[in-house]
Amino acid sequence: MGWLDRYCVIAGAACVVGVGVRLLRLWKTARRSTPRFRPEARPAPQPGRLITLARTLWGPWPRFCGRANPVWSIGCAAYHLAIATVVLGYVLSLCLLVVRIGQGRSLPDALSGQIGSHAWYPANLAALVVGNSEPAAGRFLFGAWHPAFVMVTHAEVAFALAGNLCLLVSLLRRRMGAVLRDLDPAARDIRHPGRFSIGHFLVRGLIFLIIQSELAANLNWWPDGVYVHVVLAMTFLAALPYSYLAHIFYSPLAVGLAYRRRRDRVTA
């Protein structure tokens, strides 16, 4: 195993440990802070589950985010759309990789497509998943659907680049968390200056490099660009549980708890 293989293993282990600790802390906090109603005291139910879920996901945007800080909010929307696309692509690639292995197919090199024992090394496995838009990896995973998947990755890169630039510019202008416009008549002329965070800046810079490396790999600017993308992606994965972006892992649980609070009318 080379240094990149060891790095992938260490980064994956750091991510698993960090996520486990975060999830345990979140679960304990949620059980302490979420109120419970007795059946006879429970308020009338919401109109329906889908409407309640839509209000949970979309409600904060028109009421606060979109009004308070449009540039930051648009950046968040574009960036999260790209993140959702990336995560779905990685999950799909990982599932297809497991299926191909279950079918007994030999794993190829992520770049050349050649079969060899090194194809089972952690770095190549990560390259097959992370570099799923590469010709060799894409043809192995998606077959005839590879061109369509590449088109989706191009759209994802565009959304990620636009969203991250909006967030980065807002951060450098100290507009993170700022209230720049009126929220409603009762909060007229109330403003908040925003702030700058070195942690957010470092994470945004790393994400910007990841986007550029994926763009360079898709455009074939250098032959081994996918491995640069793997190094940056594994660094990002290892840092996730220990940064403010840890919510990516427990966001389904957070959405579930927010849904329950809105269903029970604990939140407005």
**Range of the structural domain that residue 216 is part of:** 54-263
Indicate if the pLDDT at residue 120 is higher than 80. yes
Indicate if the pLDDT at residue 35 is higher than 80. no
pLDDT tens per residue across span 175-216: 888 887 777 777 777 777 888 888 888 888 888 888 888 777
Q: Domains in the chain: how many in total? A: 1
Q: What integer pLDDT is reported at residue 76 of this predicted model?
A: 85
Q: What integer pLDDT is reported at residue 39 of this predicted model?
A: 47
Indicate if the pLDDT at residue 40 is higher than 60. no
Cβ-in-10-Å burial (0-12, 13-18, 19+) of 175 comes to buried
- Strand partners of residue 67: none
CB 133 within 8 A of CB 229: no
Task: Give domain status of residue 139, yes or no.
Answer: yes
pTM of the model: 0.74
Task: Give domain status of residue 212, yes or no.
Answer: yes
pLDDT tens per residue across span 59-111: 777 777 777 888 888 888 888 888 888 888 888 988 988 998 888 888 888 77
- C-alpha torsion sign, points 72, 261, 244, 3: negative
Task: Give domain status of residue 19, yes or no.
Answer: no
Please identify which residue in the block is written with the tokens 């966001």.
251
Indicate if the pLDDT at residue 45 is higher than 60. no
Q: At CB < 8 A and 24+ separation, what contacts does 104-112 make?
A: 105/140, 107/140, 108/136, 108/137, 108/140, 109/136, 110/134, 110/136, 110/137, 110/226, 111/136, 111/223, 111/224, 111/226, 112/136
Task: Give domain status of residue 32, yes or no.
Answer: no
CB 145 within 8 A of CB 132: no
Task: Give domain status of residue 106, yes or no.
Answer: yes
Task: Give domain status of residue 49, yes or no.
Answer: no
Task: Give domain status of residue 227, yes or no.
Answer: yes
Task: Give domain status of residue 35, yes or no.
Answer: no
**CB hemisphere CA count around 253 (13 angstroms):** 17
From its phi and psi, is residue 31 left (phi > 0), alpha (psi between -120 and 50) or beta?
alpha
